[in-house]
Chain A
């Protein structure tokens, strides 16, 4: 048998794998007809396959499934959350975005605790109160932050009071809109409207060009 080329044994295995080509099969058959040793080898290999295939099917023990289920890790309370995050990446990104955005806005809200107002001519300041004196006319918008405003004269423009109150004398005249903003959400809304107005006015400018 040792005299026979390795190639013949290789062909035997090709045959057993069921992947032998027509030519190789013919080559193997003609060799086996003339070589008793290789015939024996081929027989033994076929017997090996039959022997191994004779193994009975083995079944899992009866309580196998229940035992597996009992061994599964108990779900931790945050597992549901992390699974949700994994399954909804876009919503997660959106939620994070809003979290950061709102935290930025809130911190701004608290930073802007200082008294401030739009510089206008003819305006008096007493403590944290902005006064438009009687008989005076202020042209343009007035924004007062963290302070009060008292209007005895005229305001030819919009008035916005953030975190403060406005007092109007009977002589007071405001030609534009008046807004008082005291809550965080009002303040947010004001920002949004302001942003929108800017965008609109930007487009208006573009058009007038």
Chain B
């Protein structure tokens, strides 16, 4: 797989644009899934995932072939998603820390979806409910949880994608799990 990818990348570097189509085919579902889970909306997810591939194509000469291609691609996509999330609601004191969250500022809070009334939540189908709960996570925890449980990546890989120390990734996943636990325990019939 990696050998094939590196071969295609060399072709792209030589100017063979069509070789890039194969790269897109191989990674499109994984990249789209991350974007969808991060953004919670298919239309935006498609836009951002496409943009991620375009950026990868333009900057392909900066990719270090000794490293894993998927890590590099995931990094481009998660960065674009986080940028998109932060642009959504600009009018807060974004740097102000939120009480009791240790290092979480408004940047991470505004990402969270608007809360639905309890009876609405009850009506959600399981898959919609999962997406709703994920979208309620602050984006710092969300990226780590999505990469860990939906993309099923190792902690080491997540740390490389997010460019964070391994310890920080673990902390974010732990807090993400606790956050979800508190949310879900409010509707006891689910757990």
A and B interact = yes
SS of B interface (majority): helix
Q: B134 an interface residue at 8 Å Cβ cutoff?
A: yes
Bound complex: CA of A164 vs CA of B131, how far in Å? 89
Of the listed stretches B48-56, B75-83, B90-98, B99-107, name the one at the interface; the rest are far from the partner chain. Answer: B48-56
Contact residue among A10, A19, A53, A68 (Cβ-Cβ distance under 8 Å from B53): A68
Q: Count chain A residues whose beta carbon lies closer than 8 angstroms to a beta carbon of B.
A: 38
Task: Specify which of B46, B130, B184 is in contact with A44 (CB 8 Å cutoff).
Answer: B184
Asked if A58 and B24 make an inter-chain contact with CB atoms under 8 angstroms apart, the answer reads no
- Indicate if B180 sits at the interface (CB-CB under 8 A): yes
B32 contacts A73, C-beta separation under 8 Å = no
Binary CB contact string for chain A from 37 to 52 against chain B (1 if under 8 A, 0 otherwise) = 0000101110111011
**B61 pairs with A65, CB closer than 8 A:** no
By beta carbon, the residue of chain A nearest B30 is A60
> Shortest Cβ distance from B19 into chain A, in angstroms?
11
Residues of chain B within 8 A (CB-CB) of A71 are 50-51, 54
Q: Are A17 and B145 interface neighbours, CB within 8 A?
A: no
> Is B84 on the interface with A (CB-CB < 8 A)?
no
Q: Quick check: which of A80-88, A111-119, A132-140, A148-156 contacts chain B, the rest being far away? A: A80-88
State whether B29 touches A45 (Cβ < 8 A).
no
Chain B residues lying within 8 Å of A16, measured Cβ to Cβ, are 177
Complex Cα spacing A45 to B175, Å: 11
List of B residues within 8 angstroms of A79 by Cβ: 15
Contact of B149 among A9, A44, A52, A59 (CB under 8 A): A52
Contact indicator B54/A72 (Cβ below 8 Å):
yes
Contact of A83 among B15, B31, B130, B181 (CB under 8 A): B15
Contact A52:B150 (CB < 8 A) given known A59-B29, A60-B29, A65-B28: yes
Chain B residue with the shortest CB-CB distance to A63: B46
Contact indicator B37/A58 (Cβ below 8 Å): yes
Does residue B57 face the partner (Cβ distance < 8 Å to A)? yes
Which of A52, A73, A80 contacts B180, CB < 8 Å? A52
User: Chain B residues near A58 (CB, 8 Å)?
Assistant: 29, 32-33, 36-37
Q: Is the CB of B46 within 8 A of A48?
A: no
Q: Which of A41, A51, A55, A72 contacts B57 (CB 8 A)?
A: A72
Q: In the complex, are the beta carbons of B149 and A69 less than 8 A apart? A: no
Chain B neighbourhood of A83, CB < 8 A? 13-15, 61
The chain B residue sitting closest to A67, CB to CB, is B50
12 contacts between A and B (CB under 8 A): A51-B130, A51-B133, A51-B190, A55-B127, A55-B150, A58-B32, A59-B33, A68-B54, A69-B21, A71-B51, A73-B54, A73-B58
Closest A-B pairs by Cβ, 3 of them: A60-B32, A60-B28, A13-B174
Give residues in B with beta carbon < 8 Å to A: 13-15, 17, 20-21, 24-25, 28-29, 31-33, 36-37, 42, 46, 49-51, 53-54, 57-58, 61, 126-127, 130-131, 133-134, 145, 149-150, 155, 170, 173-174, 177-178, 180-181, 184-185, 190-191
